[in-house]
Structure 1
Amino acid sequence: MSETTTSPVLATVHRGTAPVPPEFLFDVVADAEKWPQFFAPAVHAEYLERGDDTDVVRRWFLTPDEDVKVRTARRHLDRDGLRITLDDTEPDASRVSSRVEWTFTNVSDGAAEVELRHELVPAEGLTTADREALATELERNSAAQLAAVVDQGNRRELLEQLVLSFEDPLFVAGRPEDAYEVLYEADKWPDRIAHVSRLDMTEDVPGIQFFDMDTKTPDGVPHTTRSVRICLEPRLIVYKQTTLPPLLDAHTGHWRFTTTPEGLIVSARHTVTIKPSALSLLGEGTTIQDARKYLRNVLSANSMKNLQLAKAFAEDPTRA
């Protein structure tokens, strides 16, 4: 029989420094919607409530075994005191409560310390093994989150050049559910989109998809990527590449469906982080600016094919 325990509070403390003002690090943590670009497990975040100093954020994130978990937290953002706290509003079966506290301190001219405290109250009756697994997860996640924030501080100026983000919209004179359907059915893309040659998809949990995809860029370069998608019908499909093409350190984006009086706008968003060590893949002497232009062209070209597919599908008169 497994030993059970009335586990006491689990707690971790992690600290790091970066050559930036503390206000910069505060803003990095405060901007929840940007976390998927810089923190590997994060897939999507959106605000359920938003005020001047409090908000409620729902977060989707990957576990090491590729499950997607969802947590919702109420945050208090004290900009004057340079402190952010998060309290889970919907703890899962493993925990009674969870609190995260970030503090940011000026340690010298142009440098700051960030401290991350995480306290978790395990559920009653957990086995010793479950409690140990929870403690391991807490330590791993806290250390990785702190490292991601410090890295943004250390690479502040470089990241401003390496990160490219843009959105391409297209008007569709059709029903939102039809435009959504064709982009949701990614497993059918090899038969519908020329640059997609293979796509193997699983959807064990409704609305959460994983797929491996083979594509070619307009100049004929093949890529194999793996992605996770969060499908929030009928308004949004969010994706994150977990296996990336060699030129990128990160790639996130979404398909957004916005109803208008005349029809709807379907927009494709990409946010990529360029890998500096891979610039030579585009030719000797390639600069970051060269890579930005290349990616803007290639990603937009592929997105427009998807958008045009959604437009044709939704505007097909036989579907009326």
Structure 2
Amino acid sequence: MSSTQQHVDRGVVIDADLGTVFDLVADVAGWPQFHRSAVHAEVVHTNEKGELVQYWELAGDSAVRTWKTVRRTDRPGRRITFTHWEAETPATEIRGEWVFAELGPERTQVELHHHVGAPAGADLGPLLDRIGRDSEDHLATLRDTAERRAELDELVVSFTDPLFIAGSVEDAYDYLYRADLWPERIPHVVGLSMTEDVPNVQFFDMDTKGPDGSTHTVRSVRICLPSRLIVYKQISLPAMLDAHTGHWRFTETREGVVAEARHTSTIKRSALSQLGGATTIDEARRYLRRLLSGNSMSNLRLAKAFAEERAGFPTDNS
């Protein structure tokens, strides 16, 4: 059977050093904080052929698409190559590479190439158009993030809070997976409407009450990976933030489970006054850390009580 090869090539020049730009592309786990449609990415396994990486990305505001690629990172050669594990129909092959060139101490050229193979006569138009748009969006995000790196180091607040649970990982996970029950279980959640059209991919609109009594509504997407990880991204945000991602991670030990809450938030500089009266970045960071950590630790303690009660331990209300 005859076949055809099509190419999609995009590029950008970025006012940042090559190391910073390269690191941003290589860090797949950090990408969802800065790229609007990215939800989650993780390395499934690594061997001599490279890294098998799975990606989850928004398709509109109520669906997620996922795919796997094999990536090879060649730092000395200043390139990152990738091959899709399974090409999207009607393509039979999708591969490509990021190529980096240093134009000056603070100036880098980045090219993103895709090579798409398909049977002769296949209509690749819609797929090629989407790859082109996605490439342009990725490069625009890369340029903005790299050029604002120093500013973002100030504005991004990221932390994790762990809690030990003397119960089963399944019960701890289930308590936080069942977000549809949060209005009954979690005091600061006053309303939640959830859909799960695809198993383990949740979208919900949640109303929460702040410390001052005000109510905020946010829309989030969650990728649930039983019983080890729940990743979330807010896709409609409170006015004070430019981005908010995080996870609930569950690690089994011989004694029980360590449940971890992570938050990564990007403060909107123009909205400092909305962050609990904060007027400086440091005040805003302290306010967000206290608020988000307080909410997530409260949730973890409720999950702990649920799992430990089911394990036959008395509830500790202290």
What's the TM-score, normalizing by structure 2?
0.92
Three-state SS of the structure 2 residue aligned to 1:191 is helix
Q: Is the 8 A contact 1:23 1:82 kept in 2?
A: no
Shift of residue 48, structure 1, vs aligned partner: 1.4
Distance in 1 of aligned mates of 2:287 and 2:299: 19
How many residue pairs are counted as aligned between the two chains? 312
Work out the percentage of aligned pairs sharing the same amino acid. Answer: 50
Residue aligning to 1:96: 92
Q: Aligned to 2:109, which of 88, 113, 130? A: 113
- Secondary structure of the 1:80 match is coil
SS of residue paired to 2:138: helix
2:303 corresponds to which residue? 310
What letter is aligned with 2:44? L
- Work out the CA distance in 2 between the residues paired with 1:245 and 1:30: 29
CA contact (8 A) 2:276 2:287 kept: no
For residue 74 of structure 1, what is the amino acid of its counterpart?
A: V
Q: 1:203-238, CA deviations, whole angstroms, 9 ceiling, x for partnerless residues?
A: 111111100000022232321000111110011111
Q: In the superposition, relative to structure 1, how do residues 147 and 13 fare at CA in structure 2: closer, same or farther (>3 Å)?
A: same
Query: Aligned AA for 1:67?
Result: A
Q: 1:133–1:310: structure 2 CA closer, same or farther, 3 Å change rule?
A: same
Q: In 2, distance between residues paired with 1:82 and 1:248?
A: 34
How far residue 100 of structure 1 moved from its aligned partner, in angstroms, is: 2.5
Report the residue type matching 1:174 in the other structure: G
- Contact 1:53–1:78 under 8 Å retained in 2: no
Take 1:53 and 1:276, find their aligned partners in 2: how far apart are those partners? 43
Q: Does 1:271 align with 2:267?
A: no
Looking at structure 2, the residues matched to 74 and 318 of structure 1 have their Cα atoms a distance apart, in angstroms, of: 41
Report the RMSD for the aligned CA atoms in angstroms.
Answer: 2.0
Using a 3 Å threshold, how does the CA distance of structure 1 residues 79 and 297 change in structure 2: closer, same or farther?
same
Query: Unpaired runs of 5+ in structure 1?
Result: 1-5
Residues 1:172 and 1:227: Cα distance change in structure 2 (over 3 Å): same
- Looking at structure 2, the residues matched to 123 and 209 of structure 1 have their Cα atoms a distance apart, in angstroms, of 36
| Aligned counterpart for 1:289 among listed residues 282, 286, 289 | 282
State the distance in 2 between where 1:98 and 1:194 align: 48
How far does residue 283 in structure 1 lie from its aligned partner after superposition? Answer: 6.8
Alignment partners' CA distance in 1, 2:20 and 2:311: 54
> How far is 1:153 from its partner?
1.4
| Bigger shift: residues 282-291 or 71-80 | 282-291
1:310 and 1:124, CA in 2 relative to 1: closer, same or farther beyond 3 A?
farther
1:9 — aligned with what? 5
Question: Runs of 5+ in structure 2 lacking a partner?
Answer: 314-318
Matches of 1:308 and 1:52, distance apart in 2: 42
| C-alpha contact (below 8 Å) 2:173/2:250 kept by paired residues | yes
SS in 1 for 2:136: helix
Equivalence map 1:3-152=2 (5 Å): 8-50=4-46, 54-64=50-60, 66-122=62-118, 126=122, 128=123, 131-152=124-145
TM-score, normalised on structure 1? 0.92
